Amino acid sequence: MSTYRIASIPGDGIGVDVTAEARQVLDRAGEVHGFRLEWTEFDWSCERYTKTGRMMPEDGIDQLRPFDGILLGAVGFPGVPDHVSLWGLLIPIRRAFAQYVNLRPVRLLPGTTSVLAGREADELEMVIVRENTEGEYSQIGGRHNAGQPGEFAVQESIFTRVGVERIIRFAFELARTRSGRVCSATKSNGIIHTMPFWDEVFAEVAAAYPDVHSEQTHIDALAARMVQHPDRLDVVVGSNLFGDILSDLAAAVTGGLGMAPSGNVNPPGEYPSMFEAVHGSAPDIAGQGIANPVAQILAGAMMLEHLGEKTAAAAVQKAVEEVLAAGSVATPDLGGKSTTTELGAAITDALA
Ligand code: ATP
Ligand code: MG
């Protein structure tokens, strides 16, 4: 029987509640499909930061290195600035483990209220492939002439050939396993250095995949299209910033943040990949036991898929769909009155 070593970092707020449910579902999937998950839990969080001044210990990255996968809840705490949680935990892990793909599949699930009324479930299925290690989210730049009339700020973006090429290539490989269509988010009419470079690399890679239909669309037009004609999109590839924005948009059009999983993937598998819900710690509903655990459970399914347990991953996806379609167990964001644990238990039971 295969055993996988998994690091669990529940984090803060609702991250703790939804991770507990995901663990339960994944353990049951293991019992049913013949593998074992050996969990190690880490208390790394903003709460830890308020006590110790660090989100994770100095050797945190080394502690994570031996694991087969990482399941992350969410980090964020009122009073702790976002840049502390991001640069103190998330970004160092993504970079140290070369998790250069942020994979965000979106799908209209049964029993959910898409803002796009009247859409059929099979019309809305796409995956956002977001560059996860460079681009617009850089530490280069600064503030100048503070308090003077000529005050200004500069933020530099870094796009490397290696970085751009590998994410675009990943999108094309993924398209081959799906519909065979890739759309690239660009803005080369306004951003005149990095985006034309991105487009050039995209065209080069596209030439090597004549079997895949490719197109480049400006991010503004693409955002509108995602709302009006999402059925014409499948694999959407974008830079760190564009991918971030498009994946929240895609999550919103397919039923909300409570349903959207994501993976920070190191495709060669040299280092552990990390799976998490797209949503954050949701301080407004933390501690009430009403968070929707589906996003985190689906993130767990992505982790199983990544580990090679494809049958189990599909079974978790199906269990989620069955429970949502039945509709009798639903958290408040889905229009029901159930708790996080009730929905988690229903999905666990649906795995038999
Ligand atoms: P963070 O600072 O950790 O990113 P945030 O303030 O950005 O937190 P999110 O977690 O991104 O908050 O949530 C945004 C909104 O979506 C909140 O109103 C929250 O209640 C709602 N929400 C997010 N996740 C869920 C969930 N799993 N179930 C129900 N509602 C959710
Ligand atoms: Mg947030």
CA atoms within 13 A on the CB side of 43: 6
Q: Do 168 and 130 belong to one domain? A: yes
Q: Do 14 and 122 belong to one domain? A: no
In short, whether 86's Cβ falls inside 6 Å of ligand 1 is: no
Handedness of CA 303, 305, 309, 313 (dihedral sign): positive
Separation of alpha carbons 298 and 307, rounded Å:
14
How many structural domains compose the chain?
A: 2
Does residue 326 fall inside a structural domain? yes
Q: Do 198 and 301 belong to one domain? A: no
Atom of ligand 1 nearest to the CA of 278: 11
Nearest one of 183, 164, 158, 157 to 101, comparing CA atoms: 164
Separation of alpha carbons 134 and 136, rounded Å:
7
Give the residue carrying structure tokens 């598998």. Answer: 269
Which DSSP helix (H) or strand (E) runs through 21? helix 14-33
209 counts as catalytic: no
SS3 state at 194: helix
Task: Among 109, 113, 279, 340, name the best residue to mutate to test ligand 1's pocket (greatest count of ligand atoms within 8 A of Cβ).
Answer: 279
pLDDT digits (tens, 9 = 90+) for 309-323: 999 999 999 999 999
In short, whether 284's Cβ falls inside 6 Å of ligand 1 is: yes
Whole-complex ipTM: 0.93
Q: Which of 4, 17, 49, 187 is catalytic?
A: 187
pLDDT digits (tens, 9 = 90+) for 59-109: 999 999 999 999 999 999 988 998 898 889 998 999 999 999 999 998 888
So what's the pLDDT on residue 112? 72
pTM (2 d.p.): 0.91
Does residue 109 fall inside a structural domain? no
Q: Which residues of the chain have pLDDT under 50?
A: none
Q: Do 133 and 250 belong to one domain? A: yes
Integer CA distances (angstroms), 316 to 25, 47, 77, 346, in order: 8, 31, 30, 12
Contact 207, 165 (CB under 8 A): no
Does residue 106 fall inside a structural domain? no
Query: What's the DSSP call for residue 108?
Result: P
So what's the pLDDT on residue 230? 83
Can you give the CATH number for the domain in which 74 is found?
Answer: 3.40.718.10
Domain edge (last residue) among 203, 235, 254: 254
Which tokens belong to 348?
Answer: 């666990």
In short, whether 90's Cβ falls inside 6 Å of ligand 1 is: no
- Within its chain, how far is the Cα of 112 from the centroid? 19
In short, whether 292's Cβ falls inside 6 Å of ligand 1 is: yes
Ligand closest to CA 11? 1
Q: Do 88 and 131 belong to one domain? A: no
Atom of ligand 1 nearest to the CA of 284: 20
So what's the pLDDT on residue 231? 81
- The residue contributing the CA closest to ligand 1 atom 4 is 280
Q: Do 248 and 270 belong to one domain? A: no
- Bridge partners of 182, per DSSP, are 214, 235
So what's the pLDDT on residue 89? 94
In short, whether 11's Cβ falls inside 6 Å of ligand 1 is: no
So what's the pLDDT on residue 117? 54
Q: Which of 12, 17, 244, 333 is catalytic?
A: 244
Contact 178, 234 (CB under 8 A): yes
Which range of residues forms the domain containing residue 183? 114-254
Distance 281 CA to ligand 1 centre (A): 6
Task: Among 90, 276, 285, name the best residue to mutate to test ligand 1's pocket (greatest count of ligand atoms within 8 A of Cβ).
Answer: 285
